[in-house]
């Protein structure tokens, strides 16, 4: 990142570059995670829905709607899973396991909610 955060030098009164605040890094990290989740989830949904359109199971507009909904849900699940994993472990198998479990649970809950809304 090219932004400099001025920190006064002890005697000379000049400014040196410093690291950005940790809140800014955390926010950037979550936004990056959301973007990756949306791309991965959206890509998988697009491939699946393209096949369904080719088989005449759904229309193109429905495929686009489902792909967009899946991309948004994947972004949300990735952010929640990443935040939870970051609170517990910084690296390793525990972090990946936690991200997988929380992400799957969030997507499961979102899918159940959508299904219940569709039946009401």
**What's the pLDDT tens digit per position in 25-39?**
677 888 999 999 999
Model pTM score: 0.73
How crowded is residue 104: how many other Cβ atoms within 10 Å of its Cβ? 12
Write the CA distances from 11 to 8, 14, 21, 113, 116, integer angstroms.
9, 8, 23, 60, 65
**What's the pLDDT tens digit per position in 55-101?**
999 999 999 999 999 999 999 999 999 999 888 888 889 999 999 99
Distance CA 96, CA 55 (A): 36
Question: Residue range 17-28: average pLDDT?
Answer: 66
Question: Residue range 5-17: average pLDDT?
Answer: 51
DSSP state of 20: P
Confidence of residue 15 (pLDDT cuts 50, 70, 90): low
Question: Residue range 45-64: average pLDDT?
Answer: 97
Distance CA 38, CA 35 (A): 5
Q: What residues contact residue 116 under an 8 Å CB cut-off, 6+ apart?
A: none
**Pair of tokens at residue 50:** 């393209």
Distance CA 49, CA 40 (A): 14
Confidence of residue 108 (pLDDT cuts 50, 70, 90): very high
**Pair of tokens at residue 91:** 């690296």
The predicted structure's pLDDT at residue 8: 47
Are 3 and 21 within 8 A, CB to CB? no
Q: Domain segments of the chain: what residues?
A: 21-119
């Amino acid at each position: 990142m090219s932004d400099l955060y001025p920190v006064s030098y002890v005697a000379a009164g000049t400014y040196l570059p410093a690291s950005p605040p940790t809140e800014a890094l955390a926010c950037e990290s979550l936004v990056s995670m959301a973007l990756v989740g949306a791309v991965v989830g959206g890509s998988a949904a697009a491939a699946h829905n393209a096949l369904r359109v080719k088989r005449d199971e759904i229309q193109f507009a429905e495929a686009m709607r489902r792909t967009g909904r899946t991309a948004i849900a994947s972004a949300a699940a990735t952010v929640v899973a990443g935040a939870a994993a970051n609170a517990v472990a910084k690296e390793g198998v525990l972090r990946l396991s936690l991200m997988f479990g929380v992400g799957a649970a969030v997507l499961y809950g979102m899918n159940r909610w959508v299904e219940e809304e569709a039946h009401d």
